[in-house]
Structure 1
Amino acid sequence: MRSDYEFTNLLGTVYRRGNILFSSDGTQLISPVGNRVSVFDLINNKSFTFEYEHRKNIASLDINKQGTLLLSIDEDGRAILVNFKSRQVLHHFNFKDKCQSIKFSPDGKHFALGSGRFIQIWKTPDVNENRQFAPFIRQRVQAGHFQDVTSLTWSYDSRFIISSSKDLTARIWSLDSEDKDLASMTFAGHRDYVMGAFFSADQEKIYTVSKDGALFTWEYSSKEEEDDDDEPDLSKYSWRISEKNFFFQNHATVKCVTFHAKSNMLIVGFSNGEFRLYELPSFALLQQLSMGQNPVNTVSVNETGEWLAFGSSSLGQLLVYEWQSESYILKQQGHFDALNDLTYSPDGSRVVTSSEDGKIKIWDVVSGFCLATFEEHTSSVTAVQFAKRGQVLFSASLDGTVRAWDLIRYRNFRTFTSTDRIQFNCLAVDPSGEVVCAGSLDNFEIHVWSVQTGQLLDTLAGHEGPVSCLAFSQENGVLASASWDKTIRIWSIFARSQQVEPLEVYSDIVALTIRPDGKHVAASTIRGQISIFDIEEGKQIGNIDCRKDIISGRYLEDRFTSKSSERSKFFTSIHYSFDGMAIIAGGNNNSLCLYDVTNEVLLRRFIVSQNMTLNGTQEFLNSSKMTEAGALDLIDEDAENSDLEDRIDSSLPGSRRGGDMSTRRTRPEIRVTAVQFSPTANAFAAASTEGLLIYSLDNVVVFDPFDLDIDITPQNTIASLTNKEYLNSFVMSLRLNEVYLINKVYESIPVSEIPLICSNIPVVYLPRILQFVGDFSMDSPHIEFNLIWIKSLFSSHGSYINDNKHIFGSSMRSIQRFLSRIAKDAVVASVDNKYTYRFLSGTDGKLNDGSSDNETEFTSAYEAEGASNSDDDVAMDVAESEDEGWEGLDKKENKLSLSAEIDESDDDKDLI
């Protein structure tokens, strides 16, 4: 069992607080998510999260003009310098004060930092310098403001800096001492905080914007008129207000502002969720739109001025807007409240999360983007689970309903309710998809419904306490239930008799999982034990003591260390791996533990978060910060000096989850509410306070040879390939198990040789080949080439693969995911180009009625999706959904055939 899982991505949240920015080429958006940094690739539709963490939430970040260095600073002024290209941390530094703004100069040689009321100018670390002892060299500190600096802007020649502040003024500073006389100026006249100050493209004008919605235009001029022949007297020149404009935003204040000099476009975000675009200096309103009722906290514009990015902290919303076409490039929003549960789709390509906010979100694992959101539930969604076959998702909620969702049409097609008004907290789905079960804390019964009819079939009685968790076996359809009555009961749903013998556990059970083959069941108790039972024998065969492995952490108000804490010393969610050899466990603590079931030992422990703004992440007690009144971190030092909107607390009294997630007023606790292995066995996901954490195996850097011989070397492999010994070179690359070498040999084999090689390749290499083809084809542009490989492998070894499904489970899911993606792309491309095809084929004189057999073959497949839908509707459905319902290859024509012929009169039945 491999345990080298590493953090790879953070889903479920896209923005928390701080500023967002575009990369130098304008194709990537960099967003702070708590104490981490996420990057969204807007061209390739992908995202990733940097592995490093800050000690607290990120307050400001910036990237240099060359796109190589990223500098992020947290709330306490601790900075991390990162190589943006290689994603490696270069240096840690502490500025020892809160930093409101940071900006790299256009030439990349310096960066300016707004720290409190001071402006610090530092030299950017250079490759040619010895950075061993002093990576950061501070050149000077500028003092002149009387309150905190709000923004910084460099001139385009990197000579001047203009700063704005809460003292109602803006100031201009010089980087060189020679220009000190030209830059000794204070821009006063605003009646509220100055939110931003900007240079025009020719640097002849300066624009300042205040919080109350005033825009001042400043020009460098003289009061007295001078002759053109005389040399100008610079002592008589100064920056003067040439024009005043006002936004008139109906009692809303300016929250953020930015200026794009090349297009003279000013973008302003307001506290009522509205944003406006103005053209300067004419102050002409270009557009006026709203992104909701919550404040727009940050705005950024890319290099060309085509895309605008907006972030809202209160809802965790992130938008990328193309203002010329008035369309959204990116529109993402995370869960507003805490996550409750998660589940992987059968092919492992998607993750579904449920939350306290009553929403269900579907996330694409590869891209990291949210594909769809379901909002039909009226209360907290406590559990979600996929059916083993078909594109059907089930969810249970505290609103007293269990709902079934069609993920082809993205709609709710069944709603299951009980005869009594009870709240469901756990859910289980039969592998055949015919039966769904749910349990509640309100009574001691398990409700069983028929998915086909939606009727309540039975209520399983026997537990003497509330039902805490349910789980179905994926092979034999056995249902296991756990309760607070300290028992586990095994039910055979389709048997005539429902009399079962309980399995006694010596404590209340809070989590349950069944091994995929249905032979063993594991239960987690509140005493910190994971007990393993044999279902057939009805006896306990193993026990794992987890208390010593759990890092519970201390809260800020605690006067003891985490080692002495008895809080949350148990796991609330556990899950078996695909092979049943390992269990991943998480709970209301800061630990994710991976256990070896056979030896009952801890393989690896993962720390969920190092964010010190969350309760439960600190281990040791700092006595210097503890007073008689409590911890110093809980005392508001700003008090009345802070803004009014920052002092208003909208959270409910005593609430542990509510409130503004960006400001962390209620100090949320670190917790893991759900964990699950991916069906492909190469990753696992954890739903935590910080979001949805994805941990994956890194198969690229691991040297794992198979049946290696002294003569098997990369040089000999390349030599065999050069001599056109394709089968020999392919087997040698598989024995070396180097991805780059397999890739080179794989793409060098001629198409005509593929069937012969597939028929003669030893079966011992089949799992590795199928896994490689499935992973490689997702990013490869050679679609037909990969399809020929897949068809040849299945034609030659289909019977062997069918007889050994347990060996090829992970690789088959990877190939299924690739085929589903290709089928969807084929549908979209064909529908978009249907009329072009008719025109070209009609002008060729081969068609009399404007149609052909091939065109009929394509369109009939689309119409099978829904005869009542128009072509545009079908294209929209396919484009917006990650539709996994298209399957297979046509063996005769070697083309994609779409097996989505669903009878409209009985479509719900065919889905299961």
Structure 2
Amino acid sequence: MKFNYKFQNLLGTVYRRGDIVFTNDGNCVISPVGNRITIYNLKQNKSNTLSVESHFNYTAIDVSPSGSVLLAVNEKGEAQMISLLTCTVIHRYKFKQQVNAVKFSPDGKYFAACCDDTVFIMTAPSNFTGEFRSFIMKRVYKKAHDDVTCLDWSTCSKLLAVGSKDTTTKIYTVDYLDNVNMYSLSGHTDKIVGVFFEKKSLDLITVSRNGQVCLWEASIDSDDLVTSAVQISHRKRRRLQKEDDSEDDIEEKDVIEKEKDYESDEEEKPVNEKKIDEDKRLAYKKLGRHYIGDAIRNAHHKVKLSAAQYHKDTKMLITGFSNGLFFLHEMPDVNLVHTLSVSEHRISSVAVSPQGDWIAFGCPQIGQLLVWEWQSEQYVMKQQGHSLDMTCLAYSPDGLYIVTGGYDGKVKVWNTSSGFCFVTFNEHKSTVTSIVFSANKKFFVSSSLDGTVRCYDLTRYRNFRTLTSPSLVQFSCVALDSSSELCAAGGQDVFEIFIWSIKFGKLLEVLGGHEAPVASLSFSPTLSSSRLASAAWDKTVRLWNCIETSSDCETIQLTSDALQVAFRPDGEEIAVSTLDGNISFFNSTTCEQTGSIEGRNDLGAGRSDTDLITAETNLKTKAFTTICYSADGSCILGGGNSKHVCLYSVKESVLIKKFVITQNRSLDAVNDFINRRLLTEFGNMALIEERTELEGGDVSIRLPGVKAGDMADRKVKPEVRVHCIRFSPTGESFAVAATEGLLVYSQNAGIDGTFRPYRLESGSTPHAVKKLLEEGSWGPALIGALQLNEHQVIQECVESVPPADIELTVAGLEEDYASRLANSIARLLEDSRHLEHLLLWVRSLVTQKKKFPPSVLLALEKVLTVKYSQLGKICDFNKYTIRCIKSVAEFAPKQEDVEMDSDNESSGRGTFSDTD
């Protein structure tokens, strides 16, 4: 299908809450982002969000020792065993309580999960045991007096150390061992944050929330534990074999003799058991207690140790605190190696790479994820999303960048290829309401409620122009004309439109006429026209001619308040979304209505936990708050305060596809019905506040009329909504700014086995294409591959054509096939190493004067820009390397001089020997 868009990546949100882990090779960081999981590749500088989606936010994750399986558990105890090879869920399990921590054993046979005060040990899929079933219960321990917070496995995978809120650490065993009973360690005065075994040893390190570090020495080592465990298992096996032999024999004499042998073994056994009890029984001795948080607590009494991690190879202990400070200590002497303040907020999770050189930190309050190289004291990765929801977004004309603005007043620029934010602007002091890119890709403009319109340069990354009005106005929208010379902004409290000159920064004109807040502005995208369309809450859309000095305009009356207006890419039609849930289409020249879409029922309406009305009644208040035309103008995309995004055909006015952006029930208004468990005889329990700490904390009900969030410390459940939608100029993808973050949907995302041919004929088969390639019929083979529309077949044809025959092959293609070939080559350029060969194809396609759609040319421009930047870095590195080698060679002595000196030395030695 033409519009087979699938979820590709999640931008704008880097980290929410939960554990952060490194992959086994140390090149990637796995971070839970709401109900999704993102993998950040630190070597290739790319991010990838898995298509796996949970019903609630993830809180605990861990990677198996083989690196092929990821265990992820959400806040409701729903566990998923995810294959990192196929990115699919291979098994599910439901815990009855919330899981605080999960950890795989070093041998990969088991994993442990902490639920409240209970510890579960279960089997994991492993190649060593041949058992590929997951979540088979092995042991269950319920010995703690409070919630279990952390755990760690010994190197031999026989013991499990578990820390809890009751300030104790308990030692559990996987198998039944006679020399290890349930052992409890007490010595802290606050809850345990981290428990760590030493490598190839049973010595322990425990860390508590108040900054205490205790060192524990075991009486036996792991080798003695494994040896005694094997002896006990062999002895038990011999007992079972003797019992089986005695049951198989029938003669009484043999039975009596074997019973005597068994009794003699029983008499000898207590002596061996006493030796094991005396010599090989596990016991712990406290070596010392260290207070690493005293210096911080003296300055700030409320600072707590919030996260801890230990690298067993380098013996480095990393601790993170609630004020954003982290310590790096060398164990067991507890020598302070490094300290740094990476944030002003609480560090909730710490991870160390297997090599021990990189440290990852997660701060959930501001959504920040940092990777620090402590030896060189440099940031490997430093990413932070918007601290509040995003309000607007804009694509660059080539589709390479996405600019987002949020309630926090920040403007961020994201690279769609890598998924990383590479620049952040903090000039705005209030909510950013709208963003638009210039046609020349050199700058973009943003409007804000702080009364300014700012222009940002993408070459030097600075705010080069600030546009203001004579009186303070809260700007709700902004627009740029096709020549990037005029900028228009509409007021929210003052119902006027202000027009500036970007070049001189001068206010040119103030357009008045609207009687309500201006909701949206849009310039005509054609170069020959500077018509401006404005939509307002006064139920009108006005078309202005900004070149003329008069302020006359054409007015279009609507049936309801206008929320958004958008021009079609050819500039001949405008679309307007209104408060009654309709999308109306008008001719931009005659102002006559050409079509209408009633999409309120398609948009849908969820029910919040605190709503007193049903979802059907709530549907009457829903409307499309954001709309956008596709790249070719044949379809329109709409979204609003709902979890659905609707794609409509403009010509037929029918729904093509509905996208569900999230299934996260941790957000409000996702379900259409309220959970019956919340409904009691006293009413809805969600309407009752649970206050603690002197009746002032844990308030979960938002204030009346507040939707963007208040500045008080209220734990409000966020509501799902779509703030902005934009299509990529290339037509391959579209982006959705929602509560979850910036979701990117693409046609080339995921493993798609759908067969989508184009003008297919009976003789167009992969076998026929290969046969034509063997015969050297490049043109018919390429046409057959384009008809099949299989990416691998097209790649084989493109790479098989000799460079000398490329131009002749392109000359024989029709325009439809040429445009599809150019689009396929744009995809090939992303990953193929045959860059020069593909560039020959591009040159032949462009020089043949074929008529291509603008989206195809933009796709080629985007991928060539990326390749140019990549090759530019490599060439610069090689250039400076060659220059360094040449400079060294100039100062080095020449080979001829060295040979002459050596000859002179040898001749001088000979003369000296003769005279001597």
TM bucket (normalised to shorter chain) is 0.7 to 0.9
The unaligned stretches of length 5 or more in structure 2 are: 221-274, 298-302, 891-916
Task: Provide the rounded CA distance (Å) in 2 between the counterparts of 1:632 and 1:55.
Answer: 21
1:6-46 Cα distance to aligned partner (Å, 9 max, x none) = 11111110100111111222222111111111111222222
Residue 372 of structure 2, aligned match among 321, 324, 327: 321
Q: How far does residue 3 in structure 1 lie from its aligned partner after superposition? A: 3.2
User: Once structures 1 and 2 are overlaid, which stretch shifts more, 110-119 or 537-546?
Assistant: 537-546
Counterpart in the other structure of 1:717? 769
Q: Which amino acid aligns with 2:867?
A: I
Counterpart in the other structure of 1:542? 595
Q: How far does residue 714 in structure 1 lie from its aligned partner after superposition? A: 1.4
CA 1:291/1:570 → structure 2, altered by over 3 Å: closer, same or farther?
Answer: same
Q: Which amino acid aligns with 2:484?
A: G
Counterpart in the other structure of 1:853? none
Superposition map of 1:416-427 within 5 A: 416-427=467-478
| Alignment of 1:406 onto 2:457 | yes
Task: Provide the rounded CA distance (Å) in 1 between the counterparts of 2:131 and 2:65.
Answer: 20
Counterpart in the other structure of 2:87? 87
Task: Provide the rounded CA distance (Å) in 2 between the counterparts of 1:580 and 1:636.
Answer: 49
TM-score (norm 1): 0.86
What SS does the aligned partner of 2:85 have? coil
Counterpart in the other structure of 2:444? 393
CA 1:127/1:515 → structure 2, altered by over 3 Å: closer, same or farther?
Answer: farther
Counterpart in the other structure of 2:636? 583
Counterpart in the other structure of 1:161? 160
Give identity over the alignment, percent: 38
Preserved CA contact (<8 Å) 2:699 2:716: no
Counterpart in the other structure of 2:881? 836
Q: How far does residue 762 in structure 1 lie from its aligned partner after superposition? A: 3.9
Q: How far does residue 704 in structure 1 lie from its aligned partner after superposition? A: 2.3
Counterpart in the other structure of 2:508? 457
Preserved CA contact (<8 Å) 1:576 1:584: yes
Preserved CA contact (<8 Å) 1:271 1:296: yes
Question: What is the number of residues matched between the two proteins?
Answer: 826
What SS does the aligned partner of 1:595 have? strand
Q: How far does residue 277 in structure 1 lie from its aligned partner after superposition? A: 1.2
Task: Provide the rounded CA distance (Å) in 2 between the counterparts of 1:481 and 1:358.
Answer: 24
| Alignment of 1:202 onto 2:200 | yes
Counterpart in the other structure of 1:48? 48
Q: Which amino acid aligns with 1:78?
A: E
CA 1:308/1:839 → structure 2, altered by over 3 Å: closer, same or farther?
Answer: closer
Counterpart in the other structure of 2:389? 338
Counterpart in the other structure of 2:296? 250
Q: How far does residue 389 in structure 1 lie from its aligned partner after superposition? A: 1.6
CA 1:281/1:69 → structure 2, altered by over 3 Å: closer, same or farther?
Answer: same
| Alignment of 1:499 onto 2:552 | yes
Preserved CA contact (<8 Å) 1:657 1:668: no
Q: How far does residue 758 in structure 1 lie from its aligned partner after superposition? A: 3.3
Task: Provide the rounded CA distance (Å) in 1 between the counterparts of 2:877 and 2:447.
Answer: 38
Preserved CA contact (<8 Å) 1:381 1:395: yes
CA 1:573/1:654 → structure 2, altered by over 3 Å: closer, same or farther?
Answer: closer
Residue 187 of structure 1, aligned match among 162, 185, 188: 185
Q: Which amino acid aligns with 1:771?
A: N
TM-score (norm 2): 0.86
What SS does the aligned partner of 2:372 have? strand
User: Once structures 1 and 2 are overlaid, which stretch shifts more, 292-301 or 22-31?
Assistant: 22-31
Task: Provide the rounded CA distance (Å) in 2 between the counterparts of 1:732 and 1:235.
Answer: 75
Looking at CA atoms only, which structure, 1 or 2, has the larger radius of gyration?
A: 2
Q: Which amino acid aligns with 1:449?
A: W
| Alignment of 1:819 onto 2:864 | yes
What SS does the aligned partner of 2:327 have? strand
Counterpart in the other structure of 1:598? 651
The unaligned stretches of length 5 or more in structure 1 are: 223-229, 846-912
User: Once structures 1 and 2 are overlaid, which stretch shifts more, 362-371 or 727-736?
Assistant: 727-736
Q: How far does residue 189 in structure 1 lie from its aligned partner after superposition? A: 0.9
Q: Which amino acid aligns with 1:673?
A: H
User: Once structures 1 and 2 are overlaid, which stretch shifts more, 717-726 or 532-541?
Assistant: 717-726
| Alignment of 1:515 onto 2:568 | yes
1:359-388 Cα distance to aligned partner (Å, 9 max, x none) = 001111121111211111111111100011
Q: Which amino acid aligns with 1:358?
A: G
Preserved CA contact (<8 Å) 1:560 1:621: no
User: Once structures 1 and 2 are overlaid, which stretch shifts more, 123-132 or 481-490?
Assistant: 123-132
User: Once structures 1 and 2 are overlaid, which stretch shifts more, 561-570 or 344-353?
Assistant: 561-570
| Alignment of 1:240 onto 2:285 | yes
Q: How far does residue 573 in structure 1 lie from its aligned partner after superposition? A: 0.5
Counterpart in the other structure of 1:174? 173
Preserved CA contact (<8 Å) 1:656 1:666: no
Superposition map of 1:42-191 within 5 A: 42-125=42-125, 135-177=134-176, 179=177, 181-191=179-189
1:773-812 Cα distance to aligned partner (Å, 9 max, x none) = 21211222333333232223222x1x33xxx3xx431221
What SS does the aligned partner of 2:853 have? helix
Q: How far does residue 184 in structure 1 lie from its aligned partner after superposition? A: 2.3
User: Once structures 1 and 2 are overlaid, which stretch shifts more, 553-562 or 272-281?
Assistant: 553-562
Q: How far does residue 82 in structure 1 lie from its aligned partner after superposition? A: 1.7
| Alignment of 1:286 onto 2:315 | no
Task: Provide the rounded CA distance (Å) in 2 between the counterparts of 1:207 and 1:646.
Answer: 34
What SS does the aligned partner of 2:628 have? strand
Task: Provide the rounded CA distance (Å) in 2 between the counterparts of 1:539 and 1:503.
Answer: 9
1:538-595 Cα distance to aligned partner (Å, 9 max, x none) = 2212111122112221111224542332464111111111122111111122221111
Task: Provide the rounded CA distance (Å) in 1 between the counterparts of 2:73 and 2:536.
Answer: 47
Counterpart in the other structure of 2:739? 689
What SS does the aligned partner of 2:553 have? coil
Task: Provide the rounded CA distance (Å) in 1 between the counterparts of 2:314 and 2:887.
Answer: 45
Q: Which amino acid aligns with 1:689?
A: T
CA 1:239/1:89 → structure 2, altered by over 3 Å: closer, same or farther?
Answer: same
Counterpart in the other structure of 1:810? 855
RMSD (Å) for aligned C-alpha atoms: 2.7
CA 1:215/1:831 → structure 2, altered by over 3 Å: closer, same or farther?
Answer: same
Preserved CA contact (<8 Å) 2:602 2:646: yes
Task: Provide the rounded CA distance (Å) in 2 between the counterparts of 1:503 and 1:650.
Answer: 41
Task: Provide the rounded CA distance (Å) in 2 between the counterparts of 1:650 and 1:709.
Answer: 62
Preserved CA contact (<8 Å) 1:613 1:664: no
Q: How far does residue 823 in structure 1 lie from its aligned partner after superposition? A: 2.9
Q: How far does residue 114 in structure 1 lie from its aligned partner after superposition? A: 0.1
Q: How far does residue 651 in structure 1 lie from its aligned partner after superposition? A: 9.9
Preserved CA contact (<8 Å) 1:568 1:587: no
Q: Which amino acid aligns with 1:539?
A: E
Q: How far does residue 390 in structure 1 lie from its aligned partner after superposition? A: 3.2
User: Once structures 1 and 2 are overlaid, which stretch shifts more, 78-87 or 343-352?
Assistant: 78-87
Task: Provide the rounded CA distance (Å) in 1 between the counterparts of 2:348 and 2:816.
Answer: 57
CA 1:390/1:236 → structure 2, altered by over 3 Å: closer, same or farther?
Answer: closer
Task: Provide the rounded CA distance (Å) in 2 between the counterparts of 1:564 and 1:401.
Answer: 39
| Alignment of 1:774 onto 2:826 | yes
User: Once structures 1 and 2 are overlaid, which stretch shifts more, 194-203 or 497-506?
Assistant: 497-506
Task: Provide the rounded CA distance (Å) in 2 between the counterparts of 1:376 and 1:417.
Answer: 14
Counterpart in the other structure of 2:431? 380
CA 1:789/1:173 → structure 2, altered by over 3 Å: closer, same or farther?
Answer: same
Task: Provide the rounded CA distance (Å) in 1 between the counterparts of 2:384 and 2:697.
Answer: 23
1:827-854 Cα distance to aligned partner (Å, 9 max, x none) = 4334444443335567899xxxxxxxxx
Q: Which amino acid aligns with 1:813?
A: L
1:307-329 Cα distance to aligned partner (Å, 9 max, x none) = 11110011100011122222111
1:153-176 Cα distance to aligned partner (Å, 9 max, x none) = 111221111110000001111001
CA 1:630/1:254 → structure 2, altered by over 3 Å: closer, same or farther?
Answer: farther
Q: How far does residue 621 in structure 1 lie from its aligned partner after superposition? A: 2.8
Superposition map of 1:260-271 within 5 A: 260-271=311-322
What SS does the aligned partner of 2:786 have? helix
Preserved CA contact (<8 Å) 1:659 1:665: no
What SS does the aligned partner of 1:233 have? helix
Residue 213 of structure 2, aligned match among 193, 212, 215: 215
CA 1:659/1:261 → structure 2, altered by over 3 Å: closer, same or farther?
Answer: farther
Residue 444 of structure 1, aligned match among 495, 516, 520: 495
